Structure 1
Amino acid sequence: MHLGGVSAFFLAWLANFKLLMFAFGKGPLSDPLISLPKFAVFACLPIKQDNLIPDSPKTAKQGLKSFWNYVLKGLLICLFLKAYDYTDMIHPKFTWVIYSFHIYFGLEIILAIVGGLAKSVIGIELEPQFDEPYLSASLQEFWGRRWNIMVTRILRPAVYEPVLYLSTPITGRKWAPLIAVMGSFVVSGLMHELIFFYLGRNRPSGEITLFFVIHGACLAVEVGVKKVIRGRWGVTGIITGPLTIGFVMVTAFWLFFPEFLRCDAISKALDEYAALGAFVKDVSEALLPKSFNNVSMV
């Protein structure tokens, strides 16, 4: 589940999109200064082009958060795993809320591990992938600047800009960005369907695509309203923040999580956690006696 989901995301989505842009002489892989090993790594990992230049001052920005940030989220995942033992005593909707935070924290920790490996092997920092999305005050902020930032940065040159270029002569510069936004969300929905297929090997139901189409349409309306209002009237983030997160959660409960549960992701993930725990226990039991014997001999 973990290896399949992560590899499908990095290879089937990000790497293919970067290679597609490279075929047209576009995107980060088209830089002629990249060596073959870095080309391969850069194709599969979310590395900004500025980070390819070791002496660039922009590389000083750390892609990973503090160590204790990940420790805290790891402990919360442990609490979630324990809470799953009592799901029969918890309201199903609250269980789904736990799932949503579990997915978010798990993705952040996995990407942090990948980022640490990339830094140790090739000395390149990865860009941050999440920026506390639960603090979003609008859909534009949630999808554009806080949730899964690497997807936004790959969809913009691969989908948004081409659709914008093609639709501008038809709809004009004012409304073409809205069509480009919808195109980006449709492609994102289709790619999520592919990833869920790799996770569960189930025939796509279309609900994931519908989820992203709805969010793309709502985000397009949000952007259109902002264009019309142009700052003449605004609502404080104290109101728009809970409304935004509430809308994301409600639509996720309706369309996203049923598909997530249909591929039996949680039980598979729990089995993998149990297997990992058993492996660590076996290794520690095999090593600790040797350590104690060495100490006693000294």
Structure 2
Amino acid sequence: MSSELISFMKVILISMTSLLYCYFIAPKLPKGKFRLISFLPVFSLFLVLPLYVSSALLSSSFAFFITWLTTFKLVLFSFNLGPLAFDSKVSFTLFASIAFLPTRIKHNKTAKYVQNHDDLGNDPHPKLPLSLPAKVVIFAMLVMGKRHLEIMDPIANLYVNCATLYFYLDMTMSLSNVFVRSRFGVEVRQPFDEPYLATSLQNFWGRRWNRSVSETLHTAVYQPVRYEIGVPRWMAVVIVFVVSGLMHELLLYYIIRVIPTWEVTWFFVVHGLCVAVEIELKRALGKRWRIHSAVSRPLTIAFFVATVHWLFFPPLLRIKHFPSG
């Protein structure tokens, strides 16, 4: 326990020192490739930091917050884009909080190009809001209920597992929002937008599920590939999902420390292809593309749950014991 605590403190110290370097070196370099090159040593450190801790929870947290999100935010910051690109100088504490936490703040440097709302799935939808305390209660009920129900209908078990994952992520990100908003007084955006009400896969991934990651990938991957390289829209969408799949595969490796089976990557490839097809069909059919929400919502969630348990959960379920170090 003491060695794990020491490792945890070392990771925090290295992370903060690395970010301090980025904070002070960035204003001295022009935006673009020179600033990006100056950040490469930091990216290398962030890649190995999760390996310094053996706890599955700590490894996954460092991998998601630092190796993935912070790295992508710094890549965007190299070109004066993304959540770290403020119009004026900000304190290091705010800079570090936005860099390390999955918090989306409201300011005008999030993208180089105007976002295509059709590509993001900006469909009108009703609201069924849940407060943070309500989500905490539901999460606790799901965890305790699953522990006491050894025999559960397989279909019900699928939905319970997915709901537990959603409420855990939503709570974690909402708490980071609470901290940043109360500590710095900045406006923040909600991390999720009721994904259980999604009317399509495009709507689910583009507007409802983990919008911090969605926005980051859209700015860091989709826009350069689509507008700088000039690949077709459908291919840019698939590339975004492939990148997301590889990052999830890396995150999974930090947790279980075994050779990847690539099932997680294929999960995102399947969804990327489906979203690309959906976008192109909507463009081709226009107003003729009409599916009532009473049909589209349950179909969307059922497809998501089925593919999660087909490709996403099995690598975790096959591991009965996490490595101890």
Range class of TM-score, shorter chain: 0.7 to 0.9
* 1:141 correspondence with 2:203: yes
The structural deviation recorded for 1:104 is: 0.6
Q: How many percent of aligned residue pairs carry the same amino acid?
A: 38
Cα distance change, pair 47–86 in 1 and its aligned pair in 2 (3 A) = closer
Which of 95, 105, 113 is matched with 1:39 structurally? 95
| 2:75 match | 20
1:1-298 to 2 correspondences below 5 Å: 1-31=56-86, 33-35=88-90, 36-45=92-101, 46-50=103-107, 69-168=131-230, 176-263=232-319
Q: Could you tell me whether the CA contact under 8 Å between 1:167 and 1:179 is conserved in 2?
A: no
**In 2: Cα distance, 1:151 partner to 1:66 partner:** 22
Which one-letter code corresponds to 2:85 in the other structure? S
Q: Give the number of the structure whose alpha-carbon radius of gyration is greater.
A: 1
Residue type of the partner of 2:257? Answer: R
SS at match of 2:189: coil
- Residues 155, 89 of structure 1: CA spacing in aligned structure 2 closer, same or farther, 3 A cutoff? same
* Greater than 4 Å deviation, 4+ residue runs: 65-68
Residues in 2 aligned to 1:7 and 1:181: alpha-carbon distance in whole angstroms: 27
| Structure 2, unaligned runs of 5 or more | 1-55, 110-126
Task: Quote the offset at 1:263 in angstroms.
Answer: 4.7
Say which is worse superposed, 66-75 or 20-29, in terms of deviation. Answer: 66-75
**CA gap 1:2/1:71 in 2 versus in 1, 3 angstroms:** farther
1:64-120 Cα offsets, whole Å, 9 max, x none, are x99972222222222222323344311344223211111111111111222222223
Secondary structure of residue in 2 paired with 1:114: helix
Q: How many residues align?
A: 248
For each residue in 1:107-148, what CA deviation from the matched residue of structure 2 results, as whole angstroms up to 9, or x when unmatched?
111112222222232223431011110111111100001111
After superposition, the CA RMSD in angstroms is 2.6
Contact residue 82 and residue 219 of structure 2 kept, 8 A? yes
Indicate conservation of the 8 Å contact 1:51/1:124, yes or no.
no
Tell me which amino acid in the other structure corresponds to 1:131. D
Kept in 2, the 8 Å contact 1:202–1:263? The answer is no
Q: Please give the secondary structure, in 1, of the residue aligned with 2:214.
A: helix
Structure 1 stretch 87-96 or stretch 230-239: which is displaced more? 87-96
1:115–1:125 contact (8 Å) kept in structure 2: no
User: CA shift at 1:166, angstroms?
Assistant: 4.3
Mean alpha-carbon deviation: is it higher for 77-86 or for 216-225? 77-86
**Cα gap change, 1:222/1:19 in structure 2, threshold over 3 Å: closer, same or farther?**
same
Equivalent position amino acid for 2:283 in 1: K
| Residue 32 of structure 1: how far off its partner (Å) | 5.2
